[in-house]
Amino acid sequence: MRFRSFVLSAALLSLAMSATTSMAQVTHNSVTLNWTTPGDDSLLGTASQFDIRFSTAQITAANFASATRWTTGVPAPAASGTNQSATVSGLSPNTTYWFAIKTADEVPNWAGLSNVLSRTTLAAPDLIRPAAIANLAITNATERTLALGWAAVGDDSLTGTATTYDIRYSTAPITAANWGAATQVSGEPAPSAPGSNQTFTINNLNRQTTYYVAIRTTDDAGNASAISNVASATTPDQTAPSSISNLAVGFMGVVWSLGATPAVEAPRVTLSHVRRNS
Query: DSSP per residue over 262-277, as a string?
Result: TT-PPP----------
Rounded to the nearest 10 degrees, how much is the dihedral formed by the CA atoms of 134, 132, 236, 146?
120
Beta carbons of 261 and 267 less than 8 angstroms apart: no
Neighbouring CB atoms inside 10 A of 202's CB total 20
Domains of the chain by residue range: 2-120, 137-234
Q: For residue 187, which of 210, 164, 212 has the smallest C-alpha distance? A: 164
Q: Identical fold at 2-120 and 137-234?
A: yes
From the first residue on, what is the mean pLDDT of each consecutive set of 10 residues in the chain (278 residues)? 27 38 78 86 75 97 97 92 93 97 89 93 93 98 97 91 97 98 98 97 97 97 96 91 78 54 52 50
Q: Is 249 exposed, middle or buried (0-12, 13-18, 19+ CB in 10 A)?
A: exposed
Say which CATH superfamily domain 137-234 falls into: Immunoglobulins (2.60.40.10)
Q: Tell me what pLDDT residue 71 has.
A: 95
Separation of alpha carbons 227 and 134, rounded Å: 9
C-alpha torsion sign, points 157, 162, 166, 167:
positive
Separation of alpha carbons 64 and 52, rounded Å: 10
Three-class secondary structure of residue 194 per DSSP: coil
Separation of alpha carbons 74 and 84, rounded Å: 9
Long-range contacts of 251-256 (CB under 8 A, 24+ apart): none
172 phi, psi to nearest 5 deg: -120, 150
The CATH code for residues 2-120 is 2.60.40.10
Q: Tell me what pLDDT residue 221 has.
A: 92
Q: Tell me what pLDDT residue 106 has.
A: 87
Q: Tell me what pLDDT residue 9 has.
A: 31
Q: For residue 179, which of 237, 242, 125, 225 has the smallest C-alpha distance? A: 225
Q: For residue 45, which of 73, 93, 13, 92 has the smallest C-alpha distance? A: 13
Q: Tell me what pLDDT residue 21 has.
A: 44
Neighbouring CB atoms inside 10 A of 138's CB total 17
Beta carbons of 11 and 111 less than 8 angstroms apart: no
Look up residue 143 and give its amino acid. Answer: E
- The one-character DSSP state at 9 is H
Separation of alpha carbons 108 and 209, rounded Å: 85
Gyration radius (Cα) of the chain, Å: 40
Beta carbons of 188 and 165 less than 8 angstroms apart: yes
